Amino acid sequence: MKHLPFLFLFLFSFILSTAYAQLGEQAGPLVFNVTLGSSQTLNYSILNGGSSPINFTVILPILNTIPNNETPIVKVYPMNGTLAPHSQQTMHVTVFMPAKDKPGLTWSGGYSAGTSGIVVVEGSPSIANSGGMGAVVYAAVIKGLIIKSAKPPINILLIVGIVLLAAIIIAGGTLYYYYRKRALGKAKKELRAKELAELRARARGKARKAVKKKVRAKPKARAKPKAKAKARKVRARRRRAR
């Protein structure tokens, strides 16, 4: 019986510890492979395993800097809220990758000393300053964060379009050459036919002229008998006159 007060004290402490809010998160780091000039969103959950609500606030990570490259931008939604007892909240993490960065680079998150990633704290993230103390932070969870820059994927549609365009240009050039050659051959044939027609026409004209000359020459040949007849008549008259 003398140990009964200690038993009640232990039971009371156990009830307080189980009644107190318990902040947790989904295990595993968030690994981003973000294409240059684009963004990527990953989700994870924070948990309230206790019987009391939890007010939480998100602290964004401080990423390491890489010379001659811009630092990616990290956004988290929601940045604060309340977790009901025995519930969970989905956290949406979006990383925006600058287009001018080089591919194959890696950034990791950091907050305070020795921690990395997104920090979710129970209560307010106020920090003590010379004017007074900030709100007390009862618990905090840290989500590991790794960000990698990736090359833009090959645009298959663009490649197919370029190949089709090249095929159309080649086919069009071939057809143009074929029809042009055919048109030139047809034009040459027409020109030859025209030249032959002109030559034939000239030959016909020459033939007609020759025929006309022959026709004109025939009456002269017929005029000789008339002249002989006249001469005979003259001779006959002379004879009579004698």
Task: Supply 242's token pair.
Answer: 């004698």
What CA–CA distance (Å, rounded) separates 112 from 121? 13
- State if pTM tops 0.75: no
Please give the CATH architecture assigned to the domain spanning 19-150. Sandwich (2.60)
What CA–CA distance (Å, rounded) separates 234 from 132? 169
In sequence order, the 6+-apart residues with CB closer than 8 A to the CB of 77 are 91, 92, 94
Q: How far is CA 168 from CA 159, 160, 183, 223, in A?
A: 14, 12, 22, 82
H-type alpha helices, 22-107: none
User: Among 134, 108, 138, 111, which Cα is nearest to 122's?
Assistant: 138
Tens place of pLDDT per residue across the chain (242 aa) = 444 443 433 433 333 343 345 778 877 888 999 999 999 999 999 988 888 898 888 888 888 888 888 889 999 999 999 989 999 999 999 999 998 889 989 888 654 444 457 788 876 555 433 343 444 445 778 888 889 998 877 777 777 888 888 888 988 888 888 888 888 888 888 888 888 888 887 777 777 777 666 666 555 555 566 777 777 877 887 777 76
Q: Where are the domains of the chain?
A: 19-150, 156-242
What CA–CA distance (Å, rounded) separates 234 from 131? 168
DSSP three-state, residue 24? strand
DSSP three-state, residue 235? helix
Do 117 and 78 touch, CB atoms closer than 8 A?
no
29: cis peptide before it, omega within 30°? no
